[in-house]
Homo-oligomer: A and B are copies of this chain.
Amino acid sequence: VAEGIPGIFMNLKITLSYDGSAYVGWQRQPNGISVQEKVEEVLKKLSGSKVIVEGASRTDTGVHALGMVISFRWPAKRPGWNELARSLNALLPEDIRILKVSRVSEKFHARFNAKRKLYRYRILNSKTGDPFRRGVSWLIFRSLNVSAMNRAARCFVGKHDFSSVAANPGYERETMVRTIRMCRVIRNKDEIHVEVEGDGFLYKMVRTMVGTLVEVGLGKRKPDSIKELIRSQDRTKAGKTAPAQGLFLVKVVY
């Protein structure tokens, strides 16, 4: 096929940011508009033929990205691939912005080559809220105990079966084992950020971790109880799934 012939196609990598509020997530879905659809639509317009892009992560409905990475084959005969960022930004809606376009080796694949992903969850811990952070944080009125949350967060670090914090455990046939490299809770003025870095994540895993950590922050659950929760592999023992609008895919490491 044409894609295999060097010189006809080149492999491009794009880093992009999007406000996920209006989308069903990164990946194409039958039930609504995805970011993937928007990006492929514009790439088709620019290249003259269908382009299929691979995203490093799916991101759920309403989840945001500061540094999503995607890769795709681009017709080498189209001039100005290095001007592609500007052309894409001119055609894409303002809630999707292309930050960087670079040419990569033929073998690079945004999903398969991703080593680690960093997510940040923003909690607005305030008695009033903020009109300008409605869509990008989870508003919690009651004061959260950050140091207890941090002790609990450390229990997630390591290689574990994360069935207890994944939606629909067993729905995907594959293993529920993932390795979390870092999980910490930081206070940033009136916000509390939960940062999680790992080699991969199960469906709604970060948001269920956050929902559980918030219960620790409210004193409803002990920091140490996380260890037991993980061992149980029982989703009913975890907290509620935190709302999508607080979650950001910050970066993908290769």
A-side residues, CB < 8 A to B, are 17-19, 64, 85-86, 89, 94-99, 127-132, 134, 136
Given contacts A17-B131, A64-B131, A94-B129, 14 further A-B contacts (CB under 8 A): A17-B130, A18-B131, A19-B131, A19-B134, A64-B132, A85-B128, A86-B127, A89-B128, A89-B129, A95-B131, A97-B128, A97-B129, A97-B130, A98-B128
Q: Which residues of B contact A96 (CB under 8 A)?
A: 131
Q: Which residues of B contact A132 (CB under 8 A)?
A: 17, 19, 64, 136
A16 to chain B, nearest CB (A): 9
Q: How many copies of this chain does the complex contain?
A: 2
A139 to chain B, nearest CB (A): 8
The binding surface of chain A is classed by DSSP as mixed
Name the residue of chain B whose CB is nearest to the CB of A136.
Answer: B132
Bound together, the chains give a CA A86 to CA B89 distance in angstroms of 42
Q: Which residues of B contact A85 (CB under 8 A)?
A: 128
A221 to chain B, nearest CB (A): 26
Bound together, the chains give a CA A134 to CA B128 distance in angstroms of 23
Q: Once the chains bind, are B99 and A131 in contact (CB under 8 Å)?
A: no
Bound together, the chains give a CA A127 to CA B85 distance in angstroms of 10
Bound together, the chains give a CA A204 to CA B17 distance in angstroms of 33
Q: Once the chains bind, are B19 and A95 in contact (CB under 8 Å)?
A: no
A64 to chain B, nearest CB (A): 8
A25 to chain B, nearest CB (A): 15
A147 to chain B, nearest CB (A): 27
23 A-B contact pairs sorted by A residue (CB < 8 Å)? A17-B130, A17-B131, A17-B132, A18-B131, A19-B131, A19-B134, A64-B131, A85-B128, A86-B127, A89-B128, A89-B129, A94-B129, A94-B131, A95-B131, A95-B134, A96-B131, A97-B128, A97-B129, A97-B130, A97-B131, A98-B128, A99-B128, A132-B136
A156 to chain B, nearest CB (A): 27
Name the residue of chain B whose CB is nearest to the CB of A65.
Answer: B131
Q: Which residues of B contact A94 (CB under 8 A)?
A: 129, 131, 134
A179 to chain B, nearest CB (A): 30
